[in-house]
Chains A and B, each alone.
Chain A
Amino acid sequence: MKAKKALSAAAIIAAGALALSGCSGDSGENADGSVTMTFWQNSTTGDGVAYWEDTVAAFEDANPGVTIEMQSIQNEEMDGKLQTALNSGDAPDIFMARGGGKLADVVAAGQAMDISDKLTDATKTALGGVISAFEVDGKNYGLPTAVLPGGIYYSQDLFDQAGITETPTTIDDLVAANDQLKAAGIEPIALGAKDAWPAAHWYYHFALRACSQDVINKAAEDRSFDDDCWLEAGENLADFNETEPFNEGFLTTAAQQGAGSSAGLIANKIASMELMGAWDPGVIANLTPSKEPLPDLRWFPFPAVDGGDGDPAAMMGGVDGFSCHVDAPEQCVDFLNFIAEKDNQEAYATAFQTLPASQEAQGVVEGEALKNVLAAYNDAPYVSVWLDTLFGQNVGNALNVAVVDLLAGQGSAEDIVTAVNDAANKS
């Protein structure tokens, strides 16, 4: 009896194992030579999804036998979901990446494809220096589609209504503008602290002004904060926070989802300003009542802060792009080269209302806000990558949450430094 029981148990386990491995049905080359690739991107609504659907269809037409299965994944779910997929060995062939420590972690795990020699010369010329955002140890692991420098987006109508004539160039100006807005019954600054990173962007920008470029680069390598400027940035943010610049209930405000999100507050003219990257005009457009771009959306760079070693014209920003999984079929890189082509980059910039990575495509940038961003970006002495992207998920998340704590009055500037330095232990 025992033998029989053991046998049947073994049979059940084997069947289960088969069923499980069957689920992770490998994409890649099929028996008839056709190729199927999975593709994860973070646009879930409107023109963004339409752009990817059209681009995938165009690529499939140009490459018979290649099928791309696209999945739209909500931005806040992307990091966690991607990591789970990579861990489970069921990774998408083409996935969204943003360079920095997060990409370096994926590369270190042997999960990203080295595409240094596979990008065409045309692609390399079009993208120029931006391509280095996806370099790890001198090799290239991805292709940028957009450059996304940060700054403050605002509604000109609301500024007019509050009687603000000049855009703030210093933090004191910004505080004064906030007071004018409050007096006019308008929420000054929308902040999606529920997603943590939008709140952290305020700290990053104070750090960008307080810390020199070298200090920031060194912190990215060490993943630790040992210069005093990190503390100074936190203190500056705490002082600014004292003036109550953010919308009511900012702690539970999401960044991009729905009319109650920070982008939604701008789109519906409840709040006047938002510190965001260059994806914001597109996100806001999707949340306006008419789903059309906000006509009076304008932009100014993060104000100068007294003292500090950072260049007042330096920018903080990110790069969106895509990487190939290490086991992806070679057509994956063809797809990356395809989306870097001028026409596709132009269509991308139009659909997402953002800045394309390809310099050849920058001519299509529309709207006063984005044109200002582009000018400031091209003039910036240096552009630092978002600190959470730079530091990787582990330290990055700890940093972001510590900033939220500070803004909610639950932590201090010291706590931010401690959280970053302690996060390395939680791994």
Chain B
Amino acid sequence: MTSTSENLRTAQEPQVDLQAAGVGATAPTPARRRPSQGGNWRMRLEIALLAGPALIIFVAFVILPVAIAAYYGFFSWSGYGPATDFVGLRNYTTILGDPDFQDALRHNLIIAVLSLLFQGPIAIGLALLLNRKMRGQSALRVLIFVPYVISEVVVGLGWSLMLQSNGAANGFLDKIGLGALRQDWLSNPDVAIWSLMVIITWKYIGFAIILFLAGLQGIPEELSEAAAIDGASFWQIQRSIVLPLLGPTIRIWAFLSIIGSFQLFDLVYIIWGQYIASTAGTSTMATYMVANGRNAGSYGYGSAVAVVMFLISLVIALLYQRFLLRRDTEGAISGSKI
């Protein structure tokens, strides 16, 4: 089905995107056709018209709120009227010294790492399986993708009902004679984060699989065929040809997964509510922000938490792009001769 030229184009895609996004690429940049500096005015008008609205919305709803949050972060402000009680860096020192925030950050890190460890191998395995021609392939793909499509609220409510002390999970264990394994899946602070990980894996693995499947479609079959002729086994082909070529997709997925883990809010908030996420050991920076900002009526403090969260995510994103995604821009996959 897929022709070689198409495949190559797919494999190169991340590279083009990243360079457009201004990621420091040291590799020789492919020559791109650009309008000359004096370029004709129609072109500029077109750019202004097409990019303008998006730019305005981006500035108004992303840049401006971040700037305003940074401003309020320096005040003790309950949200009414103008902020007048300037407290300097007190909010920031309080945040960094607050054990609850440190816990939340630690939970974010655990979730980020475990998400990669749980979802990565399973998703790659399932994607490799689903990439082979088999009966009911489309039906299987749809089934695997379904949890990702269901809203977080529905998932959260459903799982919290099943995992209650008197819920389906414990009932099932009783019925199959494993009553000894009964747990307070959500309330026991030693267990709760693992329950959360199971739910997250179930919910988001479909997305990883679909991404990997798309990546696999882009790997030319000829390579595998050639290797097979040379006597490579199935596993050798997967290890030495398919996985390395899937690298860019895996790295993009890992990036999205990490950023998602650091901003995790809705599932935790639905399952553990406004107050007890920190007690159950599942709080995240986002739930900490809502609990100590909005719910406590301390909007200045909440803004400061938002800024800290933004900075942490930004640093992680930049480091990741600098050290991991750069490989893709250096042409580790298809060589630098593009």
Residues of chain A whose beta carbon lies under 8 Å from any beta carbon of chain B = 1, 5, 8-9, 12-13, 16, 76, 79-80, 83-84, 86-87, 105, 109-111, 193-196, 248-252, 254, 260, 392-394, 397-398, 400-401, 404-405, 408-410, 422-423, 425-427
Contacts and interface: CB of A to CB of B under 8 A. Distances in A.
B52 interface: yes
A250 B296 contact: no
A252 B189 contact: no
Nearest to B161: A260
B256 interface: no
A249 B275 contact: no
A393 B296 contact: yes
Contacts of B48: 1, 5
Interface stretch (B115-123, B220-228, B276-284): B276-284
Nearest to B53: A12
A13 B55 CA distance: 12
A388 to B, nearest CB: 11
Contact of A1 (B41, B81, B186, B295): B41
A265 B338 CA distance: 68
A254 B81 contact: no
A105 B81 CA distance: 12
A229 B331 CA distance: 69
A325 to B, nearest CB: 12
A392 B296 CA distance: 9
Contact of A397 (B76, B295, B301): B295
Contacts of A397: 275, 291, 295-296
A12 B60 CA distance: 11
A13 B98 CA distance: 40
Given A196-B274, A249-B166, A251-B280, A83 B52 contact: no
Contact of B90 (A110, A398, A400, A425): A425
Nearest to A77: B274
Contact of B80 (A16, A109, A392, A405): A109
Given A1-B48, A13-B56, A13-B60, A251 B276 contact: yes
B187 A427 contact: no
A427 B79 CA distance: 10
Contacts of B294: 80, 83-84
Contacts of A425: 90, 94
B165 A248 contact: yes
Contacts of B41: 1
Contact of B279 (A87, A398, A405): A405
B298 A427 contact: yes
Given A196-B276, A260-B161, A408-B280, 13 more contacts: A13-B60, A16-B60, A109-B81, A110-B81, A111-B80, A193-B276, A248-B166, A249-B164, A249-B186, A405-B278, A408-B189, A427-B298, A427-B301
Interface in B50-104: 52-53, 56, 60, 76-81, 90-91, 94, 98
Nearest to A405: B279
A426 B292 contact: yes
Interface of B: 41, 44-45, 48, 52-53, 56, 60, 76-81, 90-91, 94, 98, 160-161, 164-166, 184, 186-187, 189, 271-276, 278-281, 291-292, 294-301
A361 B169 CA distance: 49
Contacts of B271: 252
A397 B165 CA distance: 26
A393 B275 contact: no
Given A5-B52, A393-B295, A427-B301, A260 B164 contact: yes
Contacts of B52: 5, 8-9
B296 A426 contact: yes
A157 to B, nearest CB: 20
A250 B187 contact: yes
A13 B57 CA distance: 9
Contacts of A401: 275-276, 278-279, 291
Given A194-B276, A410-B279, A427-B76, A249 B296 contact: no
A87 B294 CA distance: 11
Given A408-B189, A426-B298, A252 B276 contact: yes
Contacts of A1: 41, 44-45, 48
Contacts of A109: 78, 80-81
Contacts of A76: 273-274
A83 B272 contact: no
Contact of B276 (A9, A392, A404, A409): A404
Contacts of A110: 80-81
A83 B293 CA distance: 11
A252 B280 contact: yes
Nearest to B280: A251
29 contacts: A8-B52, A9-B56, A76-B273, A76-B274, A83-B79, A87-B80, A109-B78, A109-B81, A111-B80, A193-B276, A194-B275, A195-B275, A196-B275, A248-B166, A251-B186, A252-B186, A254-B273, A260-B161, A393-B295, A394-B296, A400-B275, A401-B275, A408-B189, A410-B189, A410-B279, A423-B296, A425-B90, A427-B76, A427-B296
Contact of A83 (B56, B91, B297, B301): B297
B63 to A, nearest CB: 14
Contact of A251 (B79, B274, B279): B279
Nearest to B55: A9
Nearest to B273: A194
B297 A248 contact: no
A393 B186 contact: no
Contacts of B295: 79-80, 393, 397
Contacts of B184: 248-249, 251-252
Interface centre among A80, A83, A249, A404 (most CB of B within 10 A): A249
Nearest to A423: B296
A13 B94 CA distance: 37
A215 to B, nearest CB: 24
Contacts of B77: 427
A102 to B, nearest CB: 9
Contacts of B166: 248-249, 260
A278 B78 CA distance: 31
Contacts of A83: 79, 294, 297
